[in-house]
Chain A
Amino acid sequence: MDVDQIVFWVFAPISVGSAIAMLLQRNAVHAALFLVVNFFTIAVFYLVLGASFLFAVQIIVYAGAIMVLFLFVIMLLGVDREESLLERLKGQRVVAIALGVGIAVELIVAIRAGIGFATKAPPDFDEVVNRGGNAAAIARVLFREYFFPFEVTSVLLIVAAIAVVVLASRRRQVITRADASRANEREAA
């Protein structure tokens, strides 16, 4: 067995298992932590697949920044709040799980129909595509063909930052009695 096979067969169950575990946690913090585990496994997959740059970015951005942000917010909103197990919508769980299984099955069938289960990757990826290392290779593609989308995403990030500042600021507005009571009536209905 090759190294990548061993790596795959070790980390794949961990990946799926941590995802399911995240699903089942009643405590939000626990769920977030399981998700972090899942992100780590995915990073390993990236590495095996020859995307070392993404391996690094995944850990830095996703596990390091995004999940930390999640944890901040969870703590802001109450860490020890446990979600109730009672499902108010009838049949929601059953249908959801059925549909989830259905999606999985459909996708797997599509994979089989599309590329078949036996296709292996071509062997010359590291020599040809990742010449000079994966980061350099990505830079070669990113700053030439995908330059415009790159700039657009930078704009996107600025916009997001501004949006968050606006959303999160507590504006001291004068809320009249009428507004408040009308709002409360609407919410009560």
Chain B
Amino acid sequence: MSTPISYFVVVSAMLFAIGTVGVLVRKNALVIFMSVELQLNAVNLALVAFSRMHGNLNGQVLAFFSMVVAAAEVVVGLAIIVTVYRRRQSSNVDDLTVLRG
């Protein structure tokens, strides 16, 4: 493979940054959640790239586990969003201000 590994990691970094901005800027809870998934994927990409660089499979295994956990997390998170929606009839994150001080 002739592409330098760092190129993949750079792409991962950019995807991560885009995901972060998405978490902060969007108001729809679902889209925010999707941005979080984007971040997770970016990290997985970095893991796999480094695994290739180091020449062992630890990075890939870790990425595998990350996916498993992400799946579980998505499941639970969506269930929460649905529950909140049932209460407030809104999926707008800005409407959840019960904890204001």
| A interface residue numbers (CB < 8 A to B) | 2, 4-5, 8, 12, 15-16, 19-20, 22-23, 25, 28, 31-32, 35, 38-39, 42, 45-46, 48-51, 53-54, 57-58, 61-62, 65-66, 69-70, 73-74, 76-78, 81, 83-84, 87-89, 92-93, 96-97, 99-101, 103-104, 107-108, 111-112, 115-125, 128-129, 137-138, 141-142, 146, 149, 153, 156-157, 159-161, 163-164, 167-168, 170, 186-187
Q: Is the CB of B83 within 8 A of A66?
A: no
A123 nearest CB neighbor, chain B only = B1
Majority-rule SS of B interface residues: helix
Cα distance, A111 to B41, chains bound together (Å): 18
Residues of A near B4 (CB, < 8 A) are 117-120
Cα distance, A121 to B85, chains bound together (Å): 48
Cβ contact of A54, chosen from B63, B70, B71, B91, cutoff 8 A: B63
Known: A83-B26, A99-B20. A32 touches B34 (CB 8 A): yes
Q: How many residues of chain B are within 8 Å of chain A by beta carbon?
A: 73
Cβ contact of A111, chosen from B3, B13, B37, B79, cutoff 8 A: B13
Cα distance, A179 to B15, chains bound together (Å): 45
Q: Is the CB of A16 within 8 A of B6?
A: no
Residues of A near B8 (CB, < 8 A) are 8, 45, 49
* Interface membership of chain B positions 44-61, coded 1 if the CB is closer than 8 angstroms to chain A and 0 otherwise: 110011011101111011
Residues of B near A48 (CB, < 8 A) are 1, 3
Q: Output the least CB separation between A52 and chain B (Å).
A: 10
Q: Is the CB of A138 within 8 A of B78?
A: no
Q: Output the least CB separation between B7 and chain A (Å).
A: 7
Cα distance, A23 to B94, chains bound together (Å): 18
Q: Is the CB of A12 within 8 A of B11?
A: yes
Q: Is the CB of A22 within 8 A of B6?
A: no
Q: Output the least CB separation between A101 and chain B (Å).
A: 7
